[in-house]
Amino acid sequence: MSTHAVPVEKYHGTGNDFLVVDASEGVADRSAFARAYCDRETGVSADTVDDGAPAADDAARGGGDGAADPGGRRGADGVLFLEIGERYRPTRVVMTLVQPDGSTAAMCGNGARVVARWAHDRTGDHEFMIDTQAGTRRATVSPDGSEVTIEMGTPRFDPAAVPVDRDEPLVEEAIEGLTVTAVDTGVPHAVAFLEGGRDDPDGIDAVDLDAVAPPVRHADVFPQGANVNLAAVVDAGGGDG
């Protein structure tokens, strides 16, 4: 891992917080860097800058998608190594996301929101093409910079695309105690719809995600693992349909 101080900024995208590093900083071992500084107990925060550690810039820029993280938490959900190509129109940004365990994720929607806001802060542009390992995604930043829209592509349920170790799509099936649907949005996801919203004491917030997610993430049916997502319908909507 690099021993020189690496400038780091901390942003969040709808709650997922990320450390952001300009790729030109030349971090030699990105996996070790992420494991060290994303740790929730010992990782970097806005209040801790040690010799040889990242210089965290956590100045609040207000709320909204991709804003600087106001929470002051240690660690992060990953490190985004970013490179801007301003000679392109729209401006292109190469995105590499290294997760807290040192592995590389092909794509992350909330991470892409951060990428767009970070690039907007540097260029003033509002349209970007973000190059990820899962393909190129178009991003739009609102005029006031408070919202970011990401083109996520088409969700895929095909077993080979997710992937899942079976011949048919995995839809609403019990996996390690959760009823999940497997879908690929650039990376594999296992999505479980639960009863009860945030105002329900027995609803979604009552679930210990740290306890229920790892067995699903590492279940044999997911050969590459899966991000585990919990969702609850809180408003059926008032449309005519």
Least confident of 29-38, 197-206, 225-234: 197-206
Number of domains in the chain: 2
137 and 25 co-located in one domain: yes
193 and 212 co-located in one domain: yes
Of 150, 175, 199, the last residue of a domain is 150
Q: Give the gyration radius of the chain's Cα atoms.
A: 19
98 or 57, which is more confident? 98
- What number is the average pLDDT over the span 25-33? 94
Contacts of 57 (CB under 8 A, 6+ apart): 7, 8, 9, 10, 68
145 and 212 co-located in one domain: no
Scanning the structure block, which residue is given the tokens 């349920």?
157
Determine the residue type at 221. Answer: V
- Tell me whether the omega of the peptide bond preceding residue 143 falls within 30 degrees of 0, making it cis: no
Contacts of 158 (CB under 8 A, 6+ apart): 169, 184
Q: Do residues 25 and 6 make contact, with C-beta atoms less than 8 angstroms apart? A: yes
Q: Is residue 109 classed as helix, strand or coil in its secondary structure?
A: helix
166 and 240 co-located in one domain: yes
Q: Is residue 158 part of a domain?
A: yes
Q: Please choose, from the candidates 203, 180, 182, the residue with its C-alpha nearest in 3D space to the C-alpha of residue 192.
A: 180
238 and 143 co-located in one domain: no
**What pLDDT score was predicted for residue 87?**
85
129 and 160 co-located in one domain: no
42 and 145 co-located in one domain: yes
Q: Is residue 113 part of a domain?
A: yes
The sign of the dihedral angle between the CA atoms of 178, 181, 185, 187 is positive
Which structural domain range is residue 14 located in? 7-150
Buried-exposed string 133-148: b where 16+ CB fall within 10 A, e elsewhere: ebeebbbebeeebeeb
pLDDT tens-digit series, residues 201-218: 878 888 998 899 999 999
Q: Inform me whether the pLDDT recorded for 103 exceeds 60.
A: yes
Q: Do residues 23 and 7 make contact, with C-beta atoms less than 8 angstroms apart? A: no
DSSP 53: S
38 and 137 co-located in one domain: yes
Q: Inform me whether the pLDDT recorded for 134 exceeds 60.
A: yes
Q: Is residue 1 part of a domain?
A: no
CATH code, domain carrying 105: 3.10.310.10
Q: Do residues 174 and 181 make contact, with C-beta atoms less than 8 angstroms apart? A: no
Q: Inform me whether the pLDDT recorded for 49 exceeds 50.
A: no
**What pLDDT score was predicted for residue 133?**
92
Of 121, 150, 179, the last residue of a domain is 150
Of 104, 119, 150, the last residue of a domain is 150
Please give the share of the chain, as a percent, with pLDDT higher than 90: 63
Helices then strands, counting H and E runs in the chain, come out as 3, 13
Averaged pLDDT of the chain: 85
143 and 214 co-located in one domain: no
Q: Is residue 2 part of a domain?
A: no
**What pLDDT score was predicted for residue 159?**
97
Q: Inform me whether the pLDDT recorded for 90 exceeds 50.
A: yes
Q: How confident is the model at residue 237 (pLDDT cuts 50, 70, 90)?
A: low
160 and 47 co-located in one domain: no
What is the C-alpha to C-alpha distance for residues 131 and 139, in angstroms, rounded to an integer?
11
Ramachandran bin of 55, using left for φ above 0, alpha for ψ from -120 to 50, beta for the remaining angles:
beta
49 and 126 co-located in one domain: yes
Q: Do residues 75 and 41 make contact, with C-beta atoms less than 8 angstroms apart? A: yes
In the chain, how long is the greatest CA-to-CA distance? 60
126 and 160 co-located in one domain: no
What is the C-alpha to C-alpha distance for residues 107 and 100, in angstroms, rounded to an integer?
15
- Give the chain's length: 241
Q: What is the DSSP string of 120-135?
A: HHHH--SEEEEEETTE
